[in-house]
């Protein structure tokens, strides 16, 4: 095993980690602020993929399709928050889980009705399909775009949360919703806004990945597991933690594929189980 | 090389001879009712004792994956079952009895669904089942169910070798070729390719593991000079293969074997192409690469390796070039708007297997129908099927071919290689 193979595997891991991060970001935001574990998150992610497929097929404009897919997915998220999730905020967690799980099931079936049961995908835009050849392995520019997008999203989220007035209000609601409401913050609006943002980010993630992976009904069932593992290891509600853990998990599991092919993903579950046992609030979560 | 070429010609010759012998034997030994499936009619002649089944309706329960990422496969099973049933009913049913289908999702606890089909829906037979795990679960309770189950997709060899042959569960049959095609037959194709170092990427579950094991074992016997340099095992439901592909490309393998299937195979092929896999691997063997969902999804972008992207399936619409197959493909396309997927054909033929057996047995008694099915030789779209009495496995041929693009509706195949089924099927006592 030479150094180049190792480096390539780490780079692939960086790309995989960035994908995990984009998937996990909305989940962390929604849990942090709204305190709902959104089982439907991956279903919104897949909705973003399908919307991207449809708009790109008709417009052939990558950027426009990406933005439309993101906004529509966010709008669907806001509608779900207003009509369903809002009604279960004050109920026990189990009702929230059931409600979001129900949304996921409805989304899966709706996707099947609209887009059929077949496999859909789009091609990587021409300019980004080229790449760098490292030891016979092509790392295309699109993979680099995913890494850069992930990093930009991280920076943007941190800046938004810490340096804008809406971010300040969001953090206030995150910390203490009752006190925030007493101070005149419209918590209901913040919840809807966060749900919109969280699901729009899921839509963006889904739209970005459709040139790389193939999409079919029920894909969300598999993606949600990975997203939850990241969030569990990081600690529910920790944005920086989720980014670091997503990247580490991506790189670590990718390198494991090369050196111990038999282990790879199993190791993730073992780490998640150990974290749950010894640090139930996660590596970066607050008690 | 000359030895390889001789071997290659021998196999082709044997394949052709096998086909001819099979076809002739099939024609000579098949019961008169199934000489031409598409023309099967039930005639009631005045003055002759009527041969009738004890019920006016024969109910067949159909199990398939109808939800989630693999739900296309349940749809294929449904399409095959519906087409066969519509044809049979349009020609007067089976000995005057109408055929009725009841569909259930095998993803929703297959044992519960099978029990409900029997206890609540009162079905007489069960066909279908996509997943090997589900086939074994239903197989485990088949004696309690007391109904014949014809598996039309699940590929685990344990179903027929262990449950039927070793444990004597005589109510289980299978109309589709098992994992022998993904492992042993793939090795017969690989042995003629001028490459020595192989890598594998197969699913981390029984089907994937057994495919690779049979492939490596057989190929090593056929070509002792080959080496297996690396093997990777993505889990079921892998949406992104990039770390596996980069690890494969880091090895010094010259060719790749994969039994990854359905949506996962579409992603694998696309990512393999994007990452330069088709520049490195001179040949790729994709054992279920000609499954129609994959063929339609990849379309003109189906990658071709220097020495060929060799693909197969448990039935392929373009083989064999017989009248019965051509007519089946035309009717299927007219009915469903697409070319038939393999499990559509295997389910279609399973229902005709039942029809032939019922017409022989003139009874719905499971034991009588089992007897009629054992040893049955029937001409179906996939060719002559012989239901081997010992393990109740349908024996028939399915070839491999190289993907080629000729501007047709879907990618086509060239250099079709048919190996006699008796060569790549395992045989009782399966030691």
Report the phi/psi class of residue B129: left, alpha or beta, with left for phi > 0 and alpha for psi in -120 to 50: left
**B23-32 long-range contacts, Cβ below 8 Å, gap at least 24?**
B23/B383, B23/B384, B25/B377, B25/B384, B26/B377, B26/B378, B26/B379, B26/B384, B26/B386, B27/B379, B29/B377, B30/B377, B30/B378, B30/B379, B30/B384, B31/B356, B31/B359, B31/B360, B31/B376
Report the phi/psi class of residue B122: left, alpha or beta, with left for phi > 0 and alpha for psi in -120 to 50: left
Q: Does A49 touch chain B (CB under 8 A)?
A: no
Question: What was the pLDDT predicted at A186?
Answer: 93
Question: What was the pLDDT predicted at B99?
Answer: 98
Which position has the higher pLDDT, A263 or B99?
B99
When the pLDDT of each residue in chain B is averaged and rounded to a whole number, the result is 91
Cα–Cα distances in Å, from A18 out to A127, A227, A244, B387?
A: 21, 12, 10, 52
Question: What was the pLDDT predicted at B23?
Answer: 44
**A66-72 long-range contacts, Cβ below 8 Å, gap at least 24?**
A66/A204, A66/A207, A66/A208, A69/A203, A69/A204, A69/A206, A69/A207, A70/A200, A70/A201, A70/A203, A70/A204, A70/A207, A71/A200, A71/A203, A72/A203
Q: How far apart are CA B110 and CA A45, in angstroms?
A: 29
The angle that helices B342-361 and B71-90 make with each other, rounded to 10 degrees, is 40
**Three-state secondary structure of A37-92:** CCCCHHHHHHHHHHHHHHHHHHHCCHHHHHHHHHHHHHHHHHHHHHHCHHHHCCCC
- Secondary structure of residue B158 in the 3-state scheme: helix
When mean pLDDT is compared across A16-30, A131-145, B5-19, B347-361, the lowest value belongs to B5-19
- Indicate if the pLDDT at residue A265 is higher than 90: no
- Indicate if the pLDDT at residue B26 is higher than 90: no
For A103-113, write each residue's pLDDT tens digit.
999 999 999 99
Kindly indicate the confidence band of residue A167, based on its pLDDT and cuts at 50, 70 and 90: very high
Kindly report the nearest CA distance between residue A63 and chain B, in angstroms: 21
**What average pLDDT does this structure show over A63-75?**
97
**What average pLDDT does this structure show over B299-327?**
97
Which position has the higher pLDDT, A156 or A279?
A156
**What average pLDDT does this structure show over A23-40?**
89
Q: Do A118 and B274 touch (CB under 8 A)?
A: no
For A220-261, write each residue's pLDDT tens digit.
878 788 888 888 888 877 899 999 999 998 998 899 888 887
Query: Quick one: which H or E segment has residue B8?
Result: helix B2-29
Cα–Cα distances in Å, from B266 out to A83, A122, A149, B331?
A: 37, 12, 25, 27
Chain A nearest-CA residue for B72:
A117
For B190-219, write each residue's pLDDT tens digit.
999 999 999 999 999 999 999 999 999 999
All residues of chain A having their beta carbon less than 8 Å from the beta carbon of residue B294 are: 119
- Residue in the structure block whose two tokens are 């439309």: A68
What b/e string do you get for A222-239 counting C-beta neighbours within 10 Å, with b at 16 or more?
bbbebbbbbbbbbbbbbb
When the pLDDT of each residue in chain A is averaged and rounded to a whole number, the result is 90
Question: What was the pLDDT predicted at B237?
Answer: 87
Q: Do A261 and B275 touch (CB under 8 A)?
A: no
Kindly report the nearest CA distance between residue B79 and chain A, in angstroms: 14
Size of interface A-B (CB pairs under 8 A): 121
Kindly report the nearest CA distance between residue A14 and chain B, in angstroms: 10
- The two tokens of residue B222 are 């056929």
- Indicate if the pLDDT at residue A44 is higher than 50: yes
Residue ranges of A 141-180 with Cβ closer than 8 A to chain B: 143
**What average pLDDT does this structure show over A50-79?**
97
Kindly indicate the confidence band of residue A3, based on its pLDDT and cuts at 50, 70 and 90: confident
Question: What was the pLDDT predicted at B49?
Answer: 64
Q: Which residues of B touch A (CB under 8 A)?
A: 67-72, 75, 230-233, 235, 237-240, 242-247, 249-250, 262-263, 266-267, 270-271, 274-276, 279-280, 293-294, 296-297, 301
For residues B314, B317, B321 and B327, what is the CA-based torsion angle, rounded to 10 degrees?
120
Q: How far apart are CA A85 and CA A36, in angstroms?
A: 8
Q: How far apart are CA B313 and CA B428, in angstroms?
A: 24
End-to-end CA distance of chain A: 43
Q: Does A285 touch chain B (CB under 8 A)?
A: no
Report the phi/psi class of residue B283: left, alpha or beta, with left for phi > 0 and alpha for psi in -120 to 50: beta
Kindly report the nearest CA distance between residue A35 and chain B, in angstroms: 28
For an interface test with B, the pick among A214, A223, A260 (most B C-beta atoms closer than 10 Å) comes out as A214
- Residue in the structure block whose two tokens are 């197959």: B325
């Amino acid at each position: 095993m030479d150094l180049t193979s190792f480096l390539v595997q780490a780079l692939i891991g960086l790309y995989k980690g960035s994908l995990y991060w984009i998937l996990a970001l909305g989940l962390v935001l929604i849990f942090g602020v709204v305190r709902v574990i959104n089982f439907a998150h991956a279903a919104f992610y897949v909705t973003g993929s399908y919307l991207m497929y449809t708009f790109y097929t008709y417009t052939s404009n990558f950027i426009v399709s990406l933005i439309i897919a993101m906004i529509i997915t966010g709008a669907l998220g806001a509608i779900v928050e207003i009509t369903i999730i809002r009604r279960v905020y004050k109920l026990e967690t189990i009702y929230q889980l059931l409600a979001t799980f129900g949304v996921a099931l409805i989304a899966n079936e709706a996707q099947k009705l609209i887009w059929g049961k077949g496999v859909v995908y789009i091609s990587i835009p021409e300019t980004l399909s080229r790449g760098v050849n490292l030891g016979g392995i092509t790392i295309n520019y699109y993979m680099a775009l995913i890494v850069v997008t992930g990093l930009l999203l991280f920076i943007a989220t941190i800046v938004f949360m810490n340096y804008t007035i809406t971010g300040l209000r969001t953090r206030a609601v995150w910390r203490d919703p009752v006190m925030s409401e007493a101070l005149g913050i419209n918590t209901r609006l913040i919840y809807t806004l966060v749900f919109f943002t969280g699901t729009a980010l899921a839509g963006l993630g889904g739209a970005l990945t459709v040139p790389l992976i193939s999409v079919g009904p029920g894909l969300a069932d598999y993606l949600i597991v990975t997203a939850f593992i990241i969030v569990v290891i990081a600690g529910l509600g920790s944005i920086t933690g989720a980014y670091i853990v997503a990247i580490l998990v991506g790189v670590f599991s990718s390198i494991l594929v090369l050196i111990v092919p038999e282990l790879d993903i199993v190791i993730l579950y073992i780490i998640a189980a150990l974290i749950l046992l010894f640090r139930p609030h996660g590596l970066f979560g607050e008690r | 090389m000359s030895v390889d070429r001789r071997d290659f010609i021998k196999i082709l010759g044997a394949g052709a001879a096998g086909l001819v012998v099979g076809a002739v034997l099939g024609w000579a030994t098949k019961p008169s009712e199934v000489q031409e499936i598409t023309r099967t009619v039930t005639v009631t002649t005045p003055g002759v004792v009527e041969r009738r089944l004890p019920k006016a309706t024969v109910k067949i329960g159909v199990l398939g994956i109808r939800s989630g990422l693999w739900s296309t496969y349940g749809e294929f099973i449904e399409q095959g079952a519906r087409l066969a049933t519509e044809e049979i009913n349009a020609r007067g049913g089976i000995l005057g009895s109408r055929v009725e289908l009841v569909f259930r999702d095998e993803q929703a606890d297959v044992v519960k669904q099978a029990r409900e089909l029997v206890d609540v829906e009162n079905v007489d037979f069960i066909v279908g089942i996509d997943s090997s795990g589900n086939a074994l679960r239903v197989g485990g309770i088949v004696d309690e169910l007391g109904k014949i189950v014809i598996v039309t997709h699940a590929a685990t060899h344990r179903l027929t070798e262990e449950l039927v042959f070793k444990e004597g569960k005589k109510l289980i049959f299978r109309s589709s070729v098992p994992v022998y095609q993904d492992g042993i037959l793939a090795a017969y194709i690989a042995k003629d390719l001028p490459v020595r170092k192989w890598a594998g990427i197969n699913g981390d579950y029984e089907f994937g593991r057994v495919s690779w094991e049979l492939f490596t074992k057989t190929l090593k016997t056929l070509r002792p000079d080959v080496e297996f340099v690396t093997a990777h095992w993505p889990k079921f439901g892998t949406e992104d293969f990039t770390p596996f592909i980069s690890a494969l490309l880091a090895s010094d393998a010259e060719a790749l074997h994969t039994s990854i299937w359905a949506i996962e195979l579409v992603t694998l092929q696309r990512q393999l192409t994007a990452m330069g896999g088709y520049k490195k691997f001179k040949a790729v063997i994709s054992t279920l690469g000609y499954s129609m969902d994959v063929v339609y999804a990849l379309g003109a972008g189906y990658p071709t390796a220097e020495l060929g992207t060799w693909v197969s399936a448990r039935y392929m619409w373009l083989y064999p070039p017989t009248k019965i197959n051509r007519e089946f493909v035309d009717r299927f396309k007219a009915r469903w708007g697409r070319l038939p997927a393999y499990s559509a054909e295997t389910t279609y033929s399973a229902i005709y297997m039942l029809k032939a057996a019922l017409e022989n047995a003139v009874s719905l008694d499971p034991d009588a129908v089992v007897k009629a099915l054992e040893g049955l030789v029937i001409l179906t779209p996939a060719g002559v099927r012989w239901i081997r009495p010992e393990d109740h496995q349908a024996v028939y041929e399915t070839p491999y071919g190289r993907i080629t693009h000729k501007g047709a509706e879907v990618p086509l195949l060239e250099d079709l290689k048919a190996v006699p089924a008796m060569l790549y099927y395992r045989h009782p006592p399966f030691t």
